Structure 1
Amino acid sequence: MRNKSYFVISIFNLVLLVIPLIIEKPIKIIKGLVDIIKESDILITDYIAVGGIEGAFFNAGLVGLAVLTLYRINRLQINGGLIAAYFTTVGFSLFGKNIVNIWPTILGVFLYSLYQRESFKNYILIALFGTTLSPAVVQLAFLNILGKAFSISLGILIAVFIGFCLPPLAKFSLKLHQGYCLYNMGLAGGLMATMMMSKFRAFGIDFERKLILSTGNNFKFTLLFSAIFIAFIIYGFLNERKVIEKYKLLSKTTGRLYSDYFNDFGEGITFINMGMLGLIFIIYVLLIRGELTGPAIGAILTIVGFGALGKHLVNTLPVLLGTVISSVLNIWELNSQSIILASLFGTNLAPIAGEFGWFFGIIAGFFHVSVVMNMSYLHGGLNLYNNGFAGGIVAIVLVPIFSAILRKNVEYKY
């Protein structure tokens, strides 16, 4: 069963690598990839706008291949966490992560595992999710204050150091929000990036905000990714007999970290859940007349990945509704890219709806939009999981209040 899942994910990864070869000549693919690698990766940098569809997809495919290779080298058995890490890393490879800048942070986590005299496979999820801070690798080089070579070297050393520090910080972050923020590394990375950015600013170093976005790809991306998600659903039905019974059970889970649907409910129902989430959120973006940009597709792929680790329709839709209500009542346009990303990534608070009910899930989504719109200044765009950072803050504030109101004991048992 697990080998079959590896095969399905590998086919998806192959699609990302083959599509560029179909639509463009190899030389243009390489040029797009080089442009991506050379570009500043600070939020929000849409790789489709930088290197074209061919360059962005090829980069995502290479990063996905690297992730799968790490899984195989460490002889890992596929589970919900590995699926979530793969799709999140690949999704963000459309805006911010590339085949070059992910390695220093991974190396830092590897060095930490050596320091602790433990197997790296115990830290593989932290290493992959920790690539949220990948922009730190090259961002200093674009200031050109100390010389490009020195700045890049310094950026690499900083990223390695960050990777070394992330495992203990990630563990403590989980205690802070008690498992109600699915993007735990977003909180850990946000705290680390905020400290780092505050020190940069103390030396007079700041980074200009960016908003590079692609447009006009809705039809192509809807056809491609809808076909992929439908294929996931079909595959799930072919490998599961008790679909309705198991999906009802899955939908009753809170989704609180770590809710591993692959281990708890099996491969078939997990892929059905992933495919359904992907389709629903593509439809949502189209209904509000939004653009399926690189970041938007990355967000949807992240949701799909966490369809194996905590998200389902019952606990995500209330949070989505809360973000919509907040956007309608506040100053932001519902179909602006920032709000689309806040709505999609805001589903990292799905466990709040799963634990406390739909009404409290709406409240969580409502506050998430306002909080996330004010977080990027703190970390200067160095933390790609900006919504995870905001979601962690929202969970830290709301969970104890909700648990007190409902008289629920939500203490996490470590």
Structure 2
Amino acid sequence: MKRKCPLSIPTFLQRLFQSDQESFKLLSLYFFGWSFVVFALFAGALWHPVEFLKGLLRIIVTPDYLLTDYVEVGGIAPAFFNSGLLMLLFSYFLKLLRMPITGLSYASVLTVGGFALFGKNIFNVWPIVIGVVLYSLYRKESIQRYIYVAYFGTAISPLVSFIAFTVPLSNLMRFVVSYLVGIFVGFFLPSLASYFLTLHKGYNLYNVGFTCGLVGTVAAAFLRAYGVQIPVQKVWSEGNNFIFSIFLLILFSFVTFSGWLLNGKSWRGYKKLFRHSGRLLTDFVILEGVPVTLINMGLLGVISIVYVLATKSQLNGPTMGGIMTVAGFAAFGKHLRNVLPVIAGVTIASVSNCYELGSPNNVLAALFGTTVSPIAGEFGIVWGIVAGFLHSAMVNNVGFLHAGFNLYNNGFAGGLVAIVLIPIIKAIHKREDL
């Protein structure tokens, strides 16, 4: 009598997707978190647990406003564990709230995971989330309505760490004040984000990043007014391109393969994504389905990795955060047709400006600058290049305003680019419907 062969991974994926798509989508979110956790375990957590815990503690207690690379601060294993754990927790919260998994779910969870490699950690994200929850209770509305604002709102979490570990108060008072400030900010984020969306008309995908940029600017101005020094910080690790490229290429190649497999082993329907400008709110999971969305996420992930390596830059916390964010928003507005012109515009600026092509300034602007990709999607390649070129200059000059408290610095800059550029496009094209 023949034994039944265990299901292969492709067969399991196909059967799960066909029988219960919601379970499949939730599993795919967990997949990213577990991939990072497992990588962390084999990268040192299992073999050197004491050093791993020390590294995790350093990540928590180090002021982590821009630019703070957790790979350099705590080591590879602690950085990836911090990222993977937050992705798992934030995915699980969606399950607890019985949220349907959409493109916005992928964008928010992967963005949290990406920035958990350089700024967000298991200590500083919770006050923001608590503040948003309290806002929903105050409004007597469901938390489901605001949960993604809470997720993206953790962009301002370095403000919590800065107060908790830098401000000259007693230990207990610093922690209490840091959490109260974080809760206060989180409480007003939903209202602020909703209002600021009207300024850039949805052409900046990181709308909460734009909001947090303004909040961070107010916070930094207040602290400076009372003599609190906020030193410039740049922690940037090097020398891990080989191991990180292997891990990331396997990860995103598998995502692409999964989408291709579930799409009937074809690329059918992928070009349909290009019909969408990507302007908020463009949810590819809802509009085009999970398989095509996974293909798009995988391809943009791989292209982002190749870009970092081609510019002779470094794969580290910040750049991997950029790659994860690009891949996440590949489910919520970004695709090849609207991303590549923006990257081209940033690259052209990089060749001509005062920074080296592979410098942190330029490579991060290229990755995160795709926040303005809807401009390319709506108005074409030329305006996409212009947007990328303008964004490159803008993003390198707005960080001082919020002192790095807003991790989504490119979201802040992208909002300003859209606010300036859209009226110009409107005037040239004589369009009143923008």
On whether the aligned pair clears a TM of 0.5, the verdict is yes
C-alpha distance in 1 between matches for 2:431 and 2:340: 23
- Alignment match, 1:119: 142
In the TM superposition, 1:129-148 aligns within 5 A as 129-148=152-171
1:245 deviates by 4.3
Letter paired with 1:5: K
The answer to whether the 8 A contact 1:206-1:380 is kept is no
Q: CA 1:387 to 1:37, structure 2 compared with 1: closer, same or farther past 3 Å?
A: same
1:234 deviates by 0.8
- Alignment match, 2:97: 74
1:156 aligns with 2:176: no
- Alignment match, 1:222: 245
1:308 aligns with 2:328: no
1:47 deviates by 0.4
- Alignment match, 1:37: 60
Letter paired with 2:38: V
* 390-399 or 7-16, which deviates more: 7-16
C-alpha distance in 1 between matches for 2:171 and 2:355: 38
Identity of aligned residues (%): 45
- Alignment match, 1:404: 427
The answer to whether the 8 A contact 2:369-2:414 is kept is yes
1:253 deviates by 0.9
1:20 deviates by 2.0
C-alpha distance in 2 between matches for 1:96 and 1:89: 10
Over the aligned positions, Cα root-mean-square deviation in angstroms equals 1.2
C-alpha distance in 2 between matches for 1:186 and 1:296: 17
The answer to whether the 8 A contact 1:177-1:392 is kept is yes
- Segments of 5+ residues of structure 1 without an aligned counterpart are none
C-alpha distance in 2 between matches for 1:203 and 1:27: 40
- Alignment match, 1:173: 196
The answer to whether the 8 A contact 1:181-1:388 is kept is yes
C-alpha distance in 1 between matches for 2:156 and 2:374: 25
- Segments of 5+ residues of structure 2 without an aligned counterpart are 1-20
Letter paired with 1:297: M
Render the CA deviation track for 1:281-337: whole Å, top value 9, x for unaligned: 111111111101110000000000000000001100000010011111111111001
- Alignment match, 1:201: 224
- Alignment match, 1:286: 309
C-alpha distance in 2 between matches for 1:198 and 1:192: 10
1:13 aligns with 2:36: no
Letter paired with 1:180: Y
1:69 deviates by 1.6
* Greater Cα radius of gyration, structure 1 or 2: 2
* 105-114 or 138-147, which deviates more: 138-147
Render the CA deviation track for 1:265-287: whole Å, top value 9, x for unaligned: 00000000000000011111111
- Alignment match, 2:258: 235
1:144 deviates by 4.3
2:366 to 322, 343, 356: 343
SS at match of 1:308: coil
Letter paired with 2:121: N
- Alignment match, 2:16: none
1:243 deviates by 4.9
* 306-315 or 322-331, which deviates more: 322-331
1:152 deviates by 2.4
1:410 deviates by 4.0
1:143 deviates by 3.2
- Alignment match, 1:295: 318
SS at match of 1:88: helix
The answer to whether the 8 A contact 1:20-1:29 is kept is no
Letter paired with 1:312: H
Q: CA 1:144 to 1:161, structure 2 compared with 1: closer, same or farther past 3 Å?
A: closer
SS at match of 2:119: coil
1:360 aligns with 2:380: no
The answer to whether the 8 A contact 2:107-2:331 is kept is yes
Q: Using structure 1 for the length normalisation, give the TM-score.
A: 0.97
1:332 to 355, 358, 361: 355
Render the CA deviation track for 1:225-254: whole Å, top value 9, x for unaligned: 101111011100111139544111101210
In the TM superposition, 1:57-68 aligns within 5 A as 57-68=80-91
